[in-house]
Amino acid sequence: MPLEGWKPEAGDLIEIDRGFYKHWSVYVGDDDIVHITGLTGMPDRGFASSSNGKAIVKSEPLECVVGNCNYRVNNKYDGTRQVYPVPEIIVRANNKVGKTWTYHDFAKNREHFANEIRYNKARSDQAGPRADAKQGKQG
């Protein structure tokens, strides 16, 4: 699990390189992340691991989710969006744990989730700005 860049701090967004897509999560400290994964309970290694458009929010150790993939801190909107205070980011993330998430690759994916927790704006660059606009999620 090669880390690219600096060590994560609580509240950071973690981008995990899965090859043809990026898996996003929120680092909540103590080497744990909060992220969206499939309902099966199996480690998330697939692009659309959620079943029937449903996924679950989990808190898991970073190293278990990363596996052998490269990952990095990527708070890419910090210069253009208001960032919640770290304690609030952690509370927002942890309050989602155990809840079902209606998942869609282009409209409500893992990157949308992570950005919503940190910035209160759901957005996914890998889904494209047109997908966000169609869902009424500009900017």
Give the model's pLDDT for residue 123. Answer: 62
Question: What's the whole-model pTM score?
Answer: 0.80
What tens digit of pLDDT does each residue of 63-114 get? 999 999 999 999 999 999 999 999 999 999 999 999 987 765 555 678 888 9
Give the model's pLDDT for residue 136. Answer: 40
> Which of 72-76, 120-124, 125-129 has the largest mean confidence?
72-76
What tens digit of pLDDT does each residue of 16-52 get? 998 888 899 999 999 999 999 877 654 444 444 445 5
User: Between 132 and 23, whose confidence is greater?
Assistant: 23
Calculate mean pLDDT across residues 107-128.
Answer: 76
* Every domain of the chain and the residues it spans: 3-130
Q: Which class for 20: exposed (0-12), middle (13-18), buried (19 or more C-beta within 10 A)? A: exposed
Residue 134 has pLDDT above 60, yes or no: no
| Superfamily designation of domain 3-130 | endopeptidase domain like (from Nostoc punctiforme) (3.90.1720.10)
Residue 106, strand partner residues: none
Query: Which amino acid, residue 27?
Result: Y
39 phi and psi, to 5 degrees? -80, -10
Give the model's pLDDT for residue 25. Answer: 95
Residue 33, H or E segment: strand 32-37
User: Residues of 123-133 as b/e, b for ≥16 C-beta within 10 angstroms?
Assistant: bbeebeeebbe
Residue 59: which residues within 8 A CB-CB, separation 6 or more? 28, 32, 33, 34, 93, 94, 97
Token pair of 116 as six digits: 């919503």
Tally Cβ neighbours within 10 Å of residue 32: 19
